[in-house]
Every structure is written in structure tokens, then in C-alpha cells.
Amino acid sequence: MNIIYTHYISKKSNLIIIDDHMHGNILFNKIINSNTNLNHFCNNINNKYFNYIQSYRGDYYMNCITSNRGKNLISKLNINIAVSNYQGI
């Protein structure tokens, strides 16, 4: 973590903060089970994360697509590869 902070304070890197918890698929499960506007949320998370990373954990991906709203969420994200437990994109 020190290298990230060092790059950030020296202006060598941008630090983008996602104001929620992505581990364990907590953020996406919360969005799927809420009335959050998916277009607004996906645009925001794409700009902060998926436009740069373009991958997501396969087991989290598979968990999301078990519901229609989850499928809709995933379809709006800039994910080009699922990593770890699933490679079916």
C-alpha cells in the first residue's frame, strides 16, 4: 500500500475511491437488492473502475447473474473477462 500512497502524493498516479465494499460482492448485491438506478450506478462504477480494469471475479459474476436485475447490472458494466472461478464471458 505504501507504493500506491507514494505515487498518489507525488502525483504519479490517480487514486480513485469507491465508497463501498466490493469484496465478497457486497456492493453489487446491495445494488441488485435495491431500487438504485442501474444506469447511473453503472456509469459511475465504469468511470471509476471497469473502464480501467475490465475484469471481475468469476464467482462474483456468476452470483450476480442469478437474477434478472443482476444480469441487467452485469450487462451495463465494462467487463471483458471474468477471472478466477469462471471464464465464460
pTM, 2 dp: 0.76
Contacts of 16 (CB under 8 A, 6+ apart): 48, 49
Q: What is the pLDDT of the chain when averaged over all its residues?
A: 83
Confidence of residue 84 (pLDDT cuts 50, 70, 90): confident
Tell the burial category of 31 from Cβ atoms under 10 Å away from its Cβ (0-12, 13-18, 19+): buried
Instruction: Please give the residue that has the higher pLDDT: either 41 or 13.
Output: 41
